[in-house]
Amino acid sequence: MASQEKVAFITGANKGIGFETARGLGEMGIAVVMASRDEARGKAAADSLRSEGIKRVEALRFDVTKPEEHQVIAKHLEARYGKLDILVNNAGISLDDSDFGATGGFNTTPTVTPEALRQTFETNFFAVVALTQVLLPLIRKAPSGRIVNLSSILGSLTLHSDPNSGIYNKKAFAYDASKTALNAFTVHLAQALHGTKIKVNSAHPGWVKTELGGSAAPLEVSEGGKTSVQLATLPDDGPTGGYFHLGQPLPW
């Protein structure tokens, strides 16, 4: 029998934006399942939330790039909760040899290696598609499923091609292209789920002071999960197939 409470599964949840997303959803009374590759760090993150009074939190070791673990997590969620209300595909990497916090420009396209491209796409795109497909039957069992794909404004082809854009001179090709592909997945999956109560959206968290964003980022880590939380808790008349930052649509 499916749990009556809402349940969220968040990848890469032991730190940064994933952790703040877990905190935000947990504060709303949603049961949060925090996935991370490092079991000890995941448990420490869950303990930290419990110390803040968020009791419905569970930490699981999980590597999104290992398909066999997708099946394990699906079986665990089904056995324990019977459904999945919210999937936040947060885990991601950047292997481009560039400084996201740099004030100057950069373009890694002439130098990025095939290995970096493949590894970046494996984590940021292929693994996300595969995991979502495995968990979709559980999301269908929820009254109003929500899927949030952690993208980036760096995935916007419109802004990358605009000389007046703030990201025009900042092009980490492997990372950016993986997020563009992720946005395509959002649009296509949303259309495939047309007529259901499941909503699929891409989130740009903002330029946040994380390991990826760097110390020059204007947003504190505590602000990084706001867009994900918003999209994970959209009302039934909310948008689907969109690309947002703090409720504002972004150009593809």
Active site residues: 175
Parallel, antiparallel, or unpaired for β 248-249 and 242-245? antiparallel
**Rounded-to-integer distance, Cα 172 and Cα 157, Å:** 13
β partners of residue 106: 170
Q: Number of helices (H) and strands (E) in the chain: give both, helices first.
A: 8, 10
The owner of tokens 């693994």 is: 127
The owner of tokens 């890694």 is: 108
Quick one: which of 88, 179, 62 has its CA closest to 125? Answer: 179
Tokens read off for 132:
């979502």
The owner of tokens 């969220």 is: 8
Distances (CA, A) of 222 to 40, 46, 143, 236, 241: 22, 16, 29, 27, 26
Q: How far is CA 205 from the centre of its chain?
A: 9
**Rounded-to-integer distance, Cα 175 and Cα 204, Å:** 14
Parallel, antiparallel, or unpaired for β 31-36 and 248-249? unpaired
